[in-house]
């Protein structure tokens, strides 16, 4: 978990990059930007608010040979070792970003390189390096007045309510390539920001494994449980899977299969599906790991617990008490109507 509210900005550098392939210029500021007491909290909110509102999916710097050849990894290390060098390093960062602007759709914009103190990650205070880019400009009116007249002037500027691109590099897990958060509001050039510029991949921690294993289970339910049984059993399988993760601190695969897979015939199917599909989720050798509660909560929100019927009827099953669906919902076939049906038992209708 991260806490960004106590973060303090110690240095801000602002530069501008154009599109290199379109021969647009790069502008490097000679000195750091000095924000006054009015602007500083606005900029802090502009930089950090998107990360407070986003699911914590961490990345890490990666290199095909060795991290010592990764440019941003080395720059980050230099800044963490000597924060007073942030501005000089920000010039190298900006040039590196400019060199990746090799697609005609990449927009020019301002680059902000920021050093933070008092970030909290897993209750540990750390410093962090922020790299942000504003691309989309919005029209606004500026007014001037005289004694007898008010004049309106059309200008363009950056909307402080929306950050276009950003990365927070936390000074933790250096050996693994640091823990990094990234946002990108403009999806037309994702590879440019994440791959070409940052050079990152998903950080394989407890949150990553929990999220990936639950996604694997969701696809197993859709691809195997649903065809083998029915929609009700698909929903109940995911119900049991999520509840198993929610009530345990550590995942153990054999215990999971015994508790979650009701039909014994599906156990070999589960093993076979994992053997074939595991590389897609990066869980090939994963049979035991600590469970991240935040990933379980996020997965529960995304998993559908509704059976949609072609007769415009929906049946919503309870994720908290899945045994109710097992006891009180039955599926059958009506020979006369030549249609399937669900039979639902109850004592009384609950008031809304």
Q: What is the pLDDT of residue 314?
A: 85
Q: Of the ranges 163-177, 266-280, 297-311, which is most confident?
A: 163-177
What mean pLDDT, rounded, does the chain reach? 90
Cβ neighbour number for residue 286 with a 10 Å cutoff: 17
Mean pLDDT value across residues 182-203? 87
Strands 200-202 and 26-27, by their bridges, are unpaired
DSSP string covering 68-100: GG-HHHHHHHHHHH-GGGHHHHHHHHHHHHHHT
Measure the CA–CA gap between 30 and 32, rounded to whole angstroms: 7
Q: Which of 183-187, 237-241, 279-283, 304-308 has the lowest mean pLDDT?
A: 304-308
Which residue reads 């508790």 in tokens? 259
Measure the CA–CA gap between 121 and 291, rounded to whole angstroms: 18
Measure the CA–CA gap between 352 and 346, rounded to whole angstroms: 16
Q: What is the pLDDT of residue 323?
A: 65
Measure the CA–CA gap between 101 and 46, rounded to whole angstroms: 24
Give pLDDT tens digits for 73-120: 999 999 999 999 999 999 999 999 999 988 888 999 999 999 999 999
Q: What is the pLDDT of residue 190?
A: 66
* pTM of the shown model: 0.78
Q: What is the DSSP secondary structure assignment for residue 205, as one 8-state letter? A: S
Query: Measuring CA to CA, how many Å separate 20 from each of 96, 235, 288, 336?
Result: 11, 50, 47, 71
Joined tokens for residue 5 = 């509210």
pLDDT at 325 over 70: no
Share of the chain above pLDDT 90, in %: 58
Q: Are 19 and 108 spatial neighbours (Cβ–Cβ below 8 Å)?
A: yes
pLDDT at 319 over 60: no
Q: Are 182 and 59 spatial neighbours (Cβ–Cβ below 8 Å)?
A: yes
Joined tokens for residue 193 = 């920001």
Mean pLDDT value across residues 322-351? 81
Mean pLDDT value across residues 13-34? 95
Q: What is the DSSP secondary structure assignment for residue 337, as one 8-state letter? A: T
Measure the CA–CA gap between 198 and 184, rounded to whole angstroms: 12
Q: What is the DSSP secondary structure assignment for residue 128, as one 8-state letter? A: E
- Terminal alpha carbon distance of the chain: 36
If DSSP codes are grouped into helix, strand and coil, which group holds residue 303?
Answer: coil
Joined tokens for residue 11 = 């240095």
Measure the CA–CA gap between 198 and 166, rounded to whole angstroms: 10
| Domains of the chain, residue spans | 2-134+161-203, 207-344
Q: 250 or 319: whose pLDDT is higher?
A: 250
Q: Are 238 and 221 spatial neighbours (Cβ–Cβ below 8 Å)?
A: yes
Q: What is the pLDDT of residue 185?
A: 86
Give pLDDT tens digits for 259-285: 999 888 899 999 999 999 888 888 888
Q: What is the pLDDT of residue 320?
A: 60
pLDDT at 333 over 90: no
**Interacting residues of 254 by C-beta distance below 8 A, sequence separation 6+:** 287
pLDDT at 56 over 80: no
Reported confidence tier of residue 196, pLDDT bands at 50, 70, 90 = very high
Q: What angle do CA 144, 149, 150 make, to 5 degrees?
A: 40
Measure the CA–CA gap between 22 and 104, rounded to whole angstroms: 7
Q: What angle do CA 297, 302, 308 make, to 5 degrees?
A: 135
- Which residues are 13's β-sheet partners? 113
Q: Are 167 and 180 spatial neighbours (Cβ–Cβ below 8 Å)?
A: yes
Q: What is the pLDDT of residue 322?
A: 59
């Amino acid at each position: 978990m991260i806490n960004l509210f106590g973060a303090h900005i110690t240095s801000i550098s602002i530069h501008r990059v154009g599109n290199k392939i379109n021969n647009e210029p790069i502008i490097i500021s000679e000195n750091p930007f000095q924000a006054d007491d009015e602007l500083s909290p606005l900029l802090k909110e502009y930089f950090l608010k998107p990360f407070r509102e986003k699911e914590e999916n961490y990345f890490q710097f990666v290199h095909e040979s060795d991290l010592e050849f990764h440019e941003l990894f080395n720059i980050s290390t230099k800044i963490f070792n000597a924060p007073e060098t942030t501005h000089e390093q920000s010039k190298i960062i900006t040039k590196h970003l400019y060199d990746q602007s090799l697609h005609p759709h990449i927009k020019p914009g301002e680059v902000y390189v920021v050093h933070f103190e008092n970030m909290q990650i897993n209750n540990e205070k750390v410093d962090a390096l922020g790299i942000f880019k504003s691309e989309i400009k919005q029209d606004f009116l500026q007014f001037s007045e005289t004694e007898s007249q008010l004049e309106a002037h059309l200008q363009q500027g950056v909307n402080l309510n929306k950050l276009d691109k950003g990365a927070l590099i936390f000074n933790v897990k250096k050996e693994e390539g640091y823990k990094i958060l990234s946002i990108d509001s403009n999806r037309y050039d994702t590879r440019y920001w994440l791959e070409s510029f940052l050079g990152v991949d998903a950080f394989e921690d407890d949150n990553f494994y929990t999220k990936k294993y639950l996604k694997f289970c969701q696809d197993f339910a859709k691809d195997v449980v649903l065809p083998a049984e029915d929609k009700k059993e698909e929903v109940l399988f995911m119900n049991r899977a999520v509840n198993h993760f929610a009530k345990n601190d550590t995942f153990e695969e054999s215990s999971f299969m015994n508790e979650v897979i009701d039909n014994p015939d599906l156990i070999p199917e589960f093993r076979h599906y994992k053997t074939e599909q595991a590389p897609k989720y990066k869980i090939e050798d994963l049979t035991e790991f600590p469970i991240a509660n935040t990933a379980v909560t996020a997965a529960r929100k995304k998993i559908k617990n509704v059976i949609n019927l072609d007769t415009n009827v929906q049946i919503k099953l309870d994720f908290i008490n899945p045994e109710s669906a097992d006891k009180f919902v039955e599926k059958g076939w009506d020979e006369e109507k030549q249609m399937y049906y669900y039979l639902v038992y109850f004592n009384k209708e609950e008031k809304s």
